[in-house]
Structure 1
Amino acid sequence: MKIAFRSDIGRIRLVNEDRGFAELTDTGIAVAIVADGMGGHQAGDVASQLAVDTFREAMQGTSPELSVDERKMLIRQAILQANEVVFDMASRNEHYHNMGTTVVAALLQPDNGVIGHIGDSRAYKWRDGTLTQLTVDHTLVNELVKSGQISVEEAARHPRRNVLTRALGTDVHVEVDVKGLSWQPGDLLLLCSDGLTNMVSEEEMTETILQEELDLDGKADKLVELALLAGGDDNITVVLLHHAEDTEQEE
């Protein structure tokens, strides 16, 4: 397994409220998470950091013997625990009132994996030349698209496209979307914040992944560079996990 992680403040924002983490554990499981924080008084970076730290701690010592259903339960519980931590902090400190974060996380073993997410940070899987979005955005515009009120093209330009219908830490109870995925040699998983997906098309992502002269590190750099060239309106965070024979972590 190869892993690359990049985060950039972008060209407009004064603070990077994105946080991420990815590693291959001693037990051979790949653990990764991307969180995109929100809230005034720099509370967004507090929310995303708390979420990542809580998730990371909950994943320590994860057994490779767990079934897919057990790992689904584990990732759901870890994200719900993060929700509790962020909500509690927001409730006790007026500066952090209403802070929250998106989250997209993955647990990968050699033959399968699980994804958990809340919000509009996304997971994509690359296999045999095809890039497939695995997550569904929890946003107002996505609800409007699903109900047929606006088109996908209109959603991309909608003035309220960043309004979330679900976030981590803003309510006592939150629903986590969890799904399993097949995972085989050659596959690549992309976790990212909307600072990438709002700026870079799936076609451009595909072209970047196809560039054989770039290693995984270079592909992560290129994705961030494309978002910056397109305006860099938001923080940009990218995690790439490649099901490769050799094991390498790139920072």
Structure 2
Amino acid sequence: MRSFSITDIGEKRQINQDYVFCEEKSIGGLPNLFIVADGMGGHNAGDYASRFCVEVFTEKIRTNQQKTPIGMISEALQYTNDLLLEEANTNYDLQGMGTTFVVATIIENIMYVANVGDSRLYVIRDNIKQITEDHSLVEEMVKTGEIERKDVRFHPNKNIITRALGANASVTPDYFEVELNKDDIVLMCSDGLTNMMEDKDIMEIVREYPEDLETAAKTLVDKANKNGGNDNISIVVVKL
């Protein structure tokens, strides 16, 4: 297994509110761990929320006694959400902060995934497949037929999410179990990438550098910035 992570402030933002975690070695009961978090909130609250949640979550995983990957992730997510709400209540400047969170661990050829919000996880092989489902207003509008999927990237409400850590007392992630093949590439990212690029363009760049994950990730960041760089851009790429 090889991996690479990168986060970039983009062209328009003054603060990077994204935070990534990329560890190929074991963390507690998990053999590896990969996370992308995209924070939200005024002042520095979004920056604080994403970093706080990744740090609390990973520390909880290190000491978690659950026996299954999903059990460990689920317990750690609720614990992280509880502490984030407590933190927000102790500091007026942090009230209302929250973060998206997509996390994955790979055990042999099975990947366990959880997500809250609209940061995404893809599997790239002969094509590109989005594994996670966006928890966003525009995704709900696609489901009800109000808009077409091709219009999502340009919709004025594309940044309104319907779930996040810090939004409610109970957190409701989606969970996925994915069988991976040799040479599959897993790509996790914040919406600073996917709002600036089509999925097919992301796939083409990744497949252009199948053995050089660093160049692939940096090329994606450069392309997103050239397309406008309207938001922070964060990427984790993993290859079996």
Q: Same fold (TM over 0.5)?
A: yes
Structure-2 change in CA distance of 1:204 and 1:118 (3 Å):
same
Match of 1:110 among 96, 108, 111: 108
Partner of 1:48: 50
Specify the SS of the correspondent of 1:181. Answer: strand
Equivalent pair of 1:110/1:184 in contact (CA under 8 Å): no
Q: Hey, what's the Cα distance between the residues in 2 that align with 1:206 and 1:176?
A: 26
Structure-2 change in CA distance of 1:213 and 1:94 (3 Å):
closer
Partner of 2:225: 228
Partner of 1:88: 86
1:21-100 mapped onto 2 (5 Å cutoff): 21-26=21-26, 29-60=31-62, 70-100=68-98
> 1:143-177, CA deviations, whole angstroms, 9 ceiling, x for partnerless residues?
01101111112322211110011111121112111
Is 1:130 matched with 2:127?
Answer: yes
TM-score (norm 1): 0.90
Stretches (4+) displaced over 6 A: none
Equivalent pair of 1:186/1:242 in contact (CA under 8 Å): yes
- Partner amino acid for 1:30? N
Q: Hey, what's the Cα distance between the residues in 1 that align with 2:58 and 2:210?
A: 33
> 1:102-137, CA deviations, whole angstroms, 9 ceiling, x for partnerless residues?
00000111221100000000000112x111000110
Q: Hey, what's the Cα distance between the residues in 2 that align with 1:102 and 1:194?
A: 10
Q: Hey, what's the Cα distance between the residues in 2 that align with 1:90 and 1:191?
A: 27
Specify the SS of the correspondent of 2:112. Answer: strand
- Partner amino acid for 1:136? E
* Cα RMSD, aligned residues only: 1.8
* Gap runs ≥5 in structure 1: 244-251
Partner of 1:146: 143
Structure-2 change in CA distance of 1:213 and 1:162 (3 Å):
closer
Please say which of residues 170-179 and 188-197 is displaced more in the overlay.
170-179
Q: Hey, what's the Cα distance between the residues in 2 that align with 1:190 and 1:13?
A: 23
Is 1:101 matched with 2:99?
Answer: yes
Is 1:160 matched with 2:157?
Answer: yes
Partner of 1:247: none
- Partner amino acid for 1:15? I
- Partner amino acid for 1:206? M
> 1:193-242, CA deviations, whole angstroms, 9 ceiling, x for partnerless residues?
00000001111111111114861111111111111110100000000010
TM-score (norm 2): 0.94
Specify the SS of the correspondent of 1:60. Answer: helix
Q: Hey, what's the Cα distance between the residues in 2 that align with 1:61 and 1:3?
A: 24
Partner of 2:13: 13
Q: Hey, what's the Cα distance between the residues in 2 that align with 1:154 and 1:207?
A: 21
- Partner amino acid for 1:108? I
Specify the SS of the correspondent of 2:167. Answer: coil
Structure-2 change in CA distance of 1:109 and 1:89 (3 Å):
same
Give the number of equivalent residue pairs.
238
Equivalent pair of 2:209/2:215 in contact (CA under 8 Å): no
Structure-2 change in CA distance of 1:50 and 1:211 (3 Å):
same
Among all aligned residue pairs of Structure 1 and Structure 2, give the percentage whose two residues are the same amino acid.
37
